[in-house]
Structure formats: C-alpha cells, structure tokens
Chains A and B, each alone.
Chain A
Amino acid sequence: MNILDFLSELSGNTMCPDWSPSVSYVVMAVALPVCFGVFVAVALRLIEKVFGVELGHGRH
C-alpha cells in the first residue's frame, strides 16, 4: 500500500451520516500540514544558508 492509498483509507467515507472520525484521521489532518510546513521552513532556511540566497518568506 503506498502513501496515497494509506491516506485515502484513513479518510474513510466521511460524507455518510453514520461516519464518525477516528483519532488517527484527526491527528493526521493536523499533523500532516503542520509537520510539512515546519519541514519546508527549516529546509528553506538551510538552502538560504548553504547557497547564500534569499528565498520568499511565505504570505505577504
């Protein structure tokens, strides 16, 4: 099972009336973007330091 199938399975049939959220689904919904965002920020800082360039700072 690849990552996409895993995430797809975790999402479940969310539109059904008898659906209830699992803890792993809610935790993943928050952890996935936040960890990804922090990882990207650290990676960009590293690239700036190593290559001596200035990259975008995100919004604004």
Chain B
Amino acid sequence: MKMDGRFILLSLVVFVILSSALAFAGTGLSTTDCVKVMEELKDLIVRNFFYLTLFGFIIGAMGGFFGVGGGFLMVPMLNVIFGIPYNVAVGSDLGQMAGMSASATVRHMKFGNIDFKLGILMIVGTAMGVEVGAQVLQALKHVGVVEIASKQVNIMDLVMSLVYILLLIFLGQGMIRESIRTMKRQAGRVDLKAAEAPASGVVLRLRTIKLPPMVSLPASGIECISLWVILGIGFATGFLSGMLGVGGGFIRMPALVYIIGCPTVVAVGTDLFEIMFSAGYGVITHALKGNVNLVLVLALLVGTTIGAQVGASFTRKAGGPRVRLGFGVLAFVGVVMVVLKLCLKLLG
C-alpha cells in the first residue's frame, strides 16, 4: 500500500474527531454504576467463553489465511458482536497479540532476518507511541456520555467506532487497489514499472530527510538515515497499537520497505520483533489502566492459535492476489457492521 496524502488526511480527520470528543466531554460512571457494569461484563465474558474462543478461531483463521494479524477486525467486532467496551477489547486484544507474536518470533528465530539495531532504535518511538495512544483511550474512557438526538451515547464508543470506520475504509480500499493492480500486472495489462512504483512524493521526501543524528543500518544495507524518521515510524505505529489494539504492520511493513529501504525479508523479521515489543508494552500499560480482561485474553489466545494454523494451511492451497482482494472486501463488511451498530445506538 502506498504511503501518501491519504494517510495524512486520515490522521487529520482522526485528530479532529478526538479533539471534538474531548471538547464535548460529559460525566463518567459513578462507583456504584461501574461495579454493576463490571460485574455484568465479567459475567458476559465467562458465559460466552466458548463463543469468544470460536470468534478468536475465525479471526485467527482469517489472519492466517490472509497473512495478517487481524487485529483491526478483532477489536471492532468484539464491540459490535459481543458488546465488549472498546478499552477492554483493545487491552485484551493486545494481550492476545503479545502471545501470538511471542509464538511467531520463536518460530521465526531460526530464519534470523531481524535488523536488531533498527528494531531497538524503533522501539523507543514505538513505546512512546503506545503510551500516548493508551493515554488517549484512557481519556476517552473517562469522558462519559454525550446526548445526540435525545439519546445518551458513550463518547468512547462513538469516537472509536468513527476511527475504526475510517481505518477499515483506508485499509480495505488499499488492499483492493493493490490486489487489482497485481492481478492486472500478472495478466500483462499494466506497465511493470508503473505498477511497481512504490513511493509517492511524500515517501521520497521522508526518505531524504537529513536531520541529525544520522544512523547507518548495515544489516539492512542502509548507509545513512535520519534517526527521527525511524522514531517517527515507530511512534505512528505505536500510537495505533496503544489506541486501537492493532499490530500496525500495515503501516510499519510498507514504511520499512519504502521509506527506510529495508529488504523485504528483513522488514518481515523486524516487523515481527516490533509487534512483540509494542504488544508487550501495550498489554502492561493497558493492564495498569485496567483495560485487560484475563478471561477474554485466554479465550482469544486459544481461538486465534488454532485458527491461525488452520488458516495458514488453507493459504498454501489458495494464495495469490485474490486472497488480498477478499480481505479488502472483508474490511468493508466490517465497516458496514460498525456503521449499523452505531446507527442502531443512535436510532434505537
């Protein structure tokens, strides 16, 4: 997916949504209310343990099949299908992600395709981003409700739904465009150079920033790059992890390849290394804020672990750009579900 003006536009829209939400802040839950809400939530998760495991299996299978983490579908669907608050869904999904990435890192270790210098430098930006993202979610958790069309709507639900709608549209259209381009290229209908042009103007400008300190990355074959570019990429993906509970690979992978200039195999290994740290740090900071439900983490872990193996075995049989096209369509199905839930809340 190209890193261009669409991403900057998306960031601006998200910033406006967040600012408006904090400006319209209402009142939070009282202690009596929150004890009742928490008891209901814990009961809901324990009662639906089997279905949550099954849900984890489906997301894990799709993730394994399409070759992605699936976090960007996991969190909104936990809210839409099971009614789990976004903050608990994000914290628990990061727990599930920490387990999955620990498993994947142990399995990938034998390949040794990790640029440790790049990974460690990026961790600094990633940790800062995760913390800022988690703090934003924490602020949203406590702002309470707002009245829209004489209906009391939780501001966190509203903001997170809107942000997820934008994110899923951004990812879905990117995947669909990419897969169609690949299919056309395979059919020989598109000029190879034009189809493979990886970098837009913004990307090229980022790549040539000469703001000191400059660092070299011998393992990736990069002689000189500004440290601020590495920290910036880490911060952006860390922010997404901390606030939305996604791995951020859909930003980090193209950024590592197109902006930093890593070989793809090194980008894959380093991305995995980063996910392990962002999810690990994310689960700690969200646990300290009370956003991790251990029963939900266990259900998702069991489901996604089995599902990922099943999904991966099917990829070997299917494969190709059509798989990516399918995932793009699935992202739009996710958008429809989130929009429907939001409309029902506002109209129902």
Contact = CB atoms under 8 A, between A and B. Distances in A.
- A and B physically associate: yes
Interface of A: 3-5, 7-8, 10-19, 21, 25-26, 28-30, 32-34, 36-38, 40-42, 44-45, 55-60
Given A5-B46, A7-B298, A32-B294, A17 B31 contact: yes
Interface in B281-305: 283-284, 286-288, 290-295, 297-298, 301, 305
Given A7-B298, A28-B294, A33 B308 contact: no
Given A16-B34, A56-B64, A37 B106 contact: yes
Nearest to A59: B104
Interface string B300-331: 01000100110111010000000000000000
* Most A Cβ at <10 Å: residue of B31, B292, B297, B313: B292
A30 B284 contact: yes
17 contacts: A8-B45, A11-B293, A13-B35, A15-B38, A15-B141, A21-B287, A29-B284, A30-B287, A32-B297, A33-B99, A33-B100, A36-B103, A55-B312, A58-B103, A58-B308, A59-B247, A60-B67
B306 to A, nearest CB: 9
Given A4-B295, A15-B41, A21-B288, 20 more contacts: A8-B42, A8-B295, A12-B38, A15-B29, A17-B142, A25-B292, A26-B284, A26-B287, A29-B95, A29-B294, A29-B297, A32-B95, A32-B99, A33-B96, A33-B301, A42-B106, A44-B309, A55-B312, A58-B101, A59-B271
A57 B104 contact: yes
Contacts of A25: 287, 292, 294
Contacts of A36: 99, 103, 298, 301, 305
* Most A Cβ at <10 Å: residue of B101, B103, B108: B103
B272 A34 contact: no
Interface string B97-137: 11111111111100000000000000000000000000000
A18 B288 contact: no
B83 to A, nearest CB: 14
Nearest to B313: A56
B294 A11 contact: yes
A58 B294 CA distance: 22
B35 A38 contact: no
Smallest CB-CB A-B distances: 8 pairs: A58-B104, A56-B312, A14-B290, A33-B99, A37-B102, A41-B106, A37-B103, A29-B287
Contacts of A60: 67, 249, 268, 271-272
Contacts of B141: 15
A16 B28 CA distance: 10
Contacts of A14: 38, 88, 290-293
Given A8-B45, A16-B38, A29-B294, A55 B309 contact: yes
A12 B321 CA distance: 45
A29 B93 CA distance: 11
A29 B102 contact: no
Contacts of A8: 42, 45-46, 294-295
A41 B106 CA distance: 6
Contact of B98 (A5, A13, A16, A37): A37
Contacts of B247: 59
Contacts of A57: 104, 107-108, 312
